[in-house]
Amino acid sequence: MPTKSVVVGSAVGLHARPAAIISEAAADLDSEVLIGIPGDEPVDAGSSLLIMTLGAGNGDTVEVSGEVEADVEAIAALVARDLDAE
């Protein structure tokens, strides 16, 4: 399963707005993508509520994984951006 470690870029971390943007993008994909704190159980990236339960802040490292590498890369790129500034 492709996995990518990425640093959270949003100034507020993976809170309401960034989590919603990420989950909307993940829901549009044809494969399941998971996101999690290294060493903890990952959650479905298609759920903003589950993403927020991670408690990942700006500068924290999370792991994005899934069956399709291009989908993992797409979600990882969103996690790395400051989505709250856009």
Q: For residue range 9-48, what is the model confidence (pLDDT) as tens digits? A: 999 999 999 999 999 999 999 999 999 999 999 999 999 9
Does position 56 have pLDDT exceeding 90, yes or no?
Answer: yes
Q: What is the CATH number of domain 3-85?
A: 3.30.1340.10
Report residue 27 CA to chain centroid gap.
Answer: 12
Tell me the pLDDT of the chain averaged across its residues. 96
Q: What is the rounded CA–CA span in Å between residue 53 and residue 77?
A: 20
Q: What is the DSSP string of 60-84?
A: -EEEEEES-HHHHHHHHHHHHS-GG
Average pLDDT over residues 53-72: 97
Cross-strand partners of 44: 34
pTM for the model stands at 0.94
Average pLDDT over residues 44-56: 97
3-state secondary structure (DSSP) of residue 8: coil
Given this model, what pLDDT does residue 86 score? Answer: 67
* H/E stretch holding 34: strand 33-36
Provide the token pair at 84.
Answer: 């709250």
Residue 58 has pLDDT above 70, yes or no: yes
